[in-house]
Amino acid sequence: MLHNLSVGELAERLNSREVSSVELTRHFLARIDRFSPALNALITLTADRALADAAAADLRLGRGERGPLLGIPLIHKDIFCTDGVRTSCGSRMLDNFIAPYDATVVTRLKAAGTVMLGKANMDEFAMGSSNETSYYGPVKNPWNLNKVPGGSSGGSAAAAAARLAPLTTGTDTGGSIRQPAALTGTTGVKPTYGRVSRYGMIAFASSLDQAGVLARSVADAAPALQAMAGFDPRDSTSVDAPVPDYTAALARPLKGLKIGLLREFFVGLEARNAALIHDALKVYQELGATTKEVSLPHLPASVPTYYVVAPAECSSNLSRFDGVRYGYRCENPHDLMDLYKRSRGEGFGAEVKRRIMTGTYVLSAGYFDAYYLKAQRVRRLIVDDFRAAFTQVDLLIGPTTPTPAFDIGAKIDDPVTMYLNDIYTIGANLAGLPGLSLPCGFVDGLPMGLQLIGPHFSEDRLLCAGHGYQLATDWHRRAPQGYE
Amino acid sequence: MSLTRQDVEKIAHLARLSISAEELPVYVSALSSIVNFVDELSRVPTEDVAPLAHPLDGQHQRLRADAVAESDNHEKYQANAPSVAAGLYVVPRVIE
């Protein structure tokens, strides 16, 4: 079946004209039609546009053009602006917002010949770890419809796991690619801060946000990351550094790779969850890697640090939603202050309002030093811990999440419990490091994720290590029942 | 540390968010538990540690040439506005 083929296999069939991009697009649109209503993975379907893009890709293929993504369908997280297409960011605030331009990620993937099928559901403004904060309702996990798919890129993860598209885009501010990838048995790459342009990606926390990709394997993700990565003058934090050939990097040997097992990631971790990580470590040892335990003593402070820094940046970024220039406006405002307050009060959901208020509080007079500056100081200690660790090892390994997917509704009323889902993923965001989540086994029939974290701009090394693991294991090939 | 109703009302005003009387106690309780949680930071010694705002070393804000890079798209941009007249955004009367 076409939906079980890898991106490389699909590209071969497209290049040999055995299958057309229009046929491939129709195949995935039919799967979306069949499965998406129950999963609630998409906010907007762009079928007509997809078929037009596919026809254009077929013309390019007909002219002899070739490329690893030419004619390949994908789904964009609804945080990326798409010219002429609603870009809601999962919020009532932007329910009526038609983006007037394309995000750089969208432009680049379009130039590579990808076909956008639609826009994926997500936690509102990417604030959430379960996809339950979306204005459009929760996304269901294809492995068990009573479970969350993780968040905030939950629609992207569910769509990739259910084979509604070979590739989906995501963003990761505190784990929002890696955590849903882990909970849905997919592969998720969060690049180095500055590696992929943030232009046209609706801002949540500007010093942490980074775009990446979810797929069924590292080999599938590599060409997508290749197309997305690289300097963009339109993003002032984009880094002007050469981008290695990620697909070529997959073939490098793993012999001699030094892997650090993160001691702090195993404190309190349930034994059967920890056992999966130790099994993965054995795979790496058989592939010729050496392993040692390393410690990041300040890592336990990463969650409270994040929940000061991220809300502070969010309260500033979301001040642009004023009910005047775009987005939701309340009915019959009696003055300008009423317009601001009710447009924002009615347009934002509860979690977004909690974070805006937390951020406003930690930045307010009298609390700025005690919370915001304090968190920035602790952030430096965490960054220094990672730097010290990378003088001893090439990459770090641990679980992506403490547990597999939890029940829909289980944590939504308790923000702090929900925030602790991100305990293993937030460190990489605070330090701007690239991270990768790989399926590494099952607990109670639900997938678990193995996380690799590397030094800045080591995506090639991470992808190579992830690919090596996937050549030696078949966890990433498992499909949820009913979606094979 | 626990926040009061007055604290939360003040924060909501600063953040320009209307919060209903029914919602207020829910936010008082949620924000208090979040603030208690992030108070853990006070236990981390940070004397002589400089605050860090950007995760990559040596990156600084670039300046671009002062040259025209965009054409006039105001009609396209204002198509998303709730209320526009003669190319201007319309809001409730501010000056009597």
User: What letters, b where the CB count within 10 A reaches 16 and e where it falls short, cover A158-169?
Assistant: bbbbbbbbbbbb
What is the rounded average pLDDT of the residues A283-294? Answer: 97
pLDDT confidence bin for A420, thresholds 50/70/90: confident
A206 as an active site residue: the answer is: no
pLDDT tens string A109-144 = 999 999 999 999 999 999 999 999 999 999 999 999
Mean pLDDT of chain A: 97
Q: Is A262 left (phi over 0), alpha (psi -120 to 50) or beta?
A: beta
pLDDT tens string A59-106 = 999 999 999 999 999 999 999 999 999 999 999 999 999 999 999 999
A-chain residues within 8 Å CB-CB of B22?
none
Q: What percent of chain A has pLDDT over 90?
A: 97
Q: In chain B, which residue's Cα lies nearest the Cα of A309?
A: B53
- What lies within 8 Å, CB to CB, of A433 at 6+ separation is A192, A193, A386, A427, A453, A454, A455, A456, B55
Rounded CA-CA distance A211/A49 in Å is: 23
CA distance, residue A194 to nearest chain B CA (Å):
9
Query: How many CB atoms are located within 10 Å of the residue B48 CB?
Result: 6
What is the rounded average pLDDT of the residues A242-254? Answer: 96
Residue from A336, A337, A374 whose CB has the most chain B CBs within 10 Å, to mutate: A374
Q: At what angle do helices A104-111 and A218-228 cross, to 10 degrees?
A: 110
Rounded CA-CA distance A377/A344 in Å is: 32
Coil, strand or helix: which one is A209? Answer: coil
A-chain residues within 8 Å CB-CB of B52?
376-377, 379-380, 383
pLDDT for the residue A84: 97
- What lies within 8 Å, CB to CB, of B29 at 6+ separation is none
Rounded CA-CA distance B32/A139 in Å is: 29
The sheet that has A187-190: what strands, in order across it? Answer: A42-45, A115-120, A73-77, A167-171, A211-215, A187-190, A435-443, A446-453, A395-399, A258-262, A290-294
Distances (CA, A) of A90 to A138, A157, A291, A345: 10, 15, 41, 16
Rounded CA-CA distance A187/A476 in Å is: 8
Q: Phi and psi of A411, rounded to 5°?
A: -125, 0
Between residues B4 and A1, which one has the greater pLDDT?
Answer: B4
pLDDT for the residue A413: 86
Residue A273 has pLDDT above 80, yes or no: yes
Which candidate in A20, A36, A77, A140 is catalytic? A77
- HSE-CB at A16 with a 13 A cutoff on CA atoms is 6
What is the rounded average pLDDT of the residues A266-282? Answer: 94
- Which residue from A98, A335, A380 is facing B51, i.e. has the nearest CB? A380
The strand pairing partners of A147, in sequence order, are A407
**pTM for this predicted structure:** 0.97
Task: Spell out the domains of chain B, with CATH numbers in brackets.
Answer: 5-43 (1.10.20)
B-chain residues within 8 Å CB-CB of A297?
none
pLDDT for the residue B57: 73
Q: In chain A, which residue's Cα lies nearest the Cα of B7?
A: A361
pLDDT for the residue A145: 98
Interface contact A100-B37, CB threshold 8 A: no
- What lies within 8 Å, CB to CB, of A235 at 6+ separation is A104, A197, A198, A199
A6 as an active site residue: the answer is: no
Interface contact A98-B81, CB threshold 8 A: no
Q: At what angle do helices A21-39 and A47-62 cross, to 10 degrees?
A: 160
Residue A185 has pLDDT above 80, yes or no: yes
Residue from B34, B39, B49, B54 whose CB has the most chain A CBs within 10 Å, to mutate: B34
pLDDT for the residue B2: 87
CA distance, residue B68 to nearest chain A CA (Å):
14
pLDDT for the residue A421: 84
Q: At what angle do helices A21-39 and A7-15 cross, to 10 degrees?
A: 150
- HSE-CB at B90 with a 13 A cutoff on CA atoms is 9
pLDDT tens string B32-85 = 999 999 999 999 999 999 999 888 877 777 888 899 988 999 999 999 999 999
DSSP structure string for A70-103: TT-EEEEETTB-BTTBB--TT-GGGTT-B-SS--
A-chain residues within 8 Å CB-CB of B15?
315, 344, 356-357, 360
Per DSSP (E only), the strands in A121-225 are 167-171, 187-190, 211-215
User: What letters, b where the CB count within 10 A reaches 16 and e where it falls short, cover A110-137?
Assistant: bebbbbbbbbbbbbbbbbbbbbbbbbbe
For the domain made up of A2-258, the CATH class stated in words is alpha beta
Rounded CA-CA distance A377/A373 in Å is: 6
Which candidate in A20, A88, A152, A156 is catalytic? A152
Interface contact A415-B82, CB threshold 8 A: no
pLDDT tens string A204-215 = 999 999 999 999
Interface contact A377-B49, CB threshold 8 A: yes
Q: In chain A, which residue's Cα lies nearest the Cα of B49?
A: A377
pLDDT for the residue A267: 86
Residue A290 has pLDDT above 90, yes or no: yes
pLDDT tens string A313-341 = 999 999 999 999 999 999 999 999 999 99
Residue A448 in contact with residue A434, Cβ under 8 Å?
no
pLDDT for the residue A463: 98
Residue A159 in contact with residue A167, Cβ under 8 Å?
no
CA distance, residue B66 to nearest chain A CA (Å):
14
pLDDT for the residue B54: 87
Q: How much is the CA Rg of chain B, to the nearest whole Å?
A: 22
A302 as an active site residue: the answer is: no
Q: Phi and psi of A322, rounded to 5°?
A: -120, 5
Chains A–B, number of C-beta pairs less than 8 Å apart: 169
pLDDT for the residue B70: 85
Interface contact A100-B79, CB threshold 8 A: yes
- Which residue from B15, B46, B55 is facing A357, i.e. has the nearest CB? B15
pLDDT for the residue A87: 98
Interface contact B11-A361, CB threshold 8 A: yes
pLDDT for the residue B59: 75
What is the rounded average pLDDT of the residues A44-72? Answer: 98
